[in-house]
Structure 1
Amino acid sequence: MKVIKHIFDGDFGCEESTTNKPTVSVTLVDEAGDETYVTVEDQWLVEHGLDVGDKWPDDLD
C-alpha cells in the first residue's frame, strides 16, 4: 500500500501551458518508508478525491 505524502503543483500563473492540462507531482510512500514519484493531471486527482494522507489506488502502481 502506498500513501500520498506530498502533492506539488509546479504550474504557476502565466507559466502554465494553455495546450496541456495542468499536472501535479505526487510523492508516494510505502510501508517501508520508500518514496516514489508520479505525475498526474490535477483534474484526475480532484475527480478521485485524492489528497495528502490518502491511500494511492493499487491499480495505478
Structure 2
Amino acid sequence: MKIIKHIFDGDFGCEESNNKKPTVSLTLIDEAGNESYIAVEDEWLTNNGLNIGDTWPEEEQI
C-alpha cells in the first residue's frame, strides 16, 4: 500500500501552451518508507478524489 505524500503541479503556467492535458507529479511512500514518483493527469486525480494522505489505488484499479 502506498500513500500520496506530495503533489507537485509541474505544468503550472503551461496548460494553454499545448494540446496535452495538465499533469501533476506525485510522491508516493510505502509502509517501509520507500518513496516512488509518478505523473498523472490532473483531471484523473481530481475525478478519483485523490489528495495528499490518501491511499494510492492498486495498479489493477487504475
Regarding TM over 0.5, the answer is yes
Give the superposition deviation at 1:58. Answer: 1.0
* Cα distance in 2, alignment partners of residues 53 and 26 from structure 1: 11
Residue of structure 2 equivalent to 1:41: 41
CA distance in 2, matches of 1:4, 1:47: 16
Q: How many angstroms apart in 2 are the aligned matches of 1:27 and 1:21?
A: 20
SS at match of 1:43: helix
CA distance in 2, matches of 1:42, 1:12: 11
Q: Residue 18 of structure 1: CA displacement?
A: 2.7
Aligned match of 2:51? 51
- Provide the rounded CA distance (Å) in 1 between the counterparts of 2:51 and 2:21: 19
* Stretches of 4+ aligned residues off by more than 2 angstroms: 15-18
Q: Offset of 1:59 from its aligned partner?
A: 2.1
Q: What's the counterpart of residue 25 of structure 1? A: 25
The count of corresponding residues between Structure 1 and Structure 2 is 60
Question: Please, what is the CA RMSD of the aligned residues?
Answer: 1.6
Which segments of 5 or more consecutive residues in structure 1 lack a partner in the other structure?
none
- With normalisation by structure 1, the TM-score equals 0.89
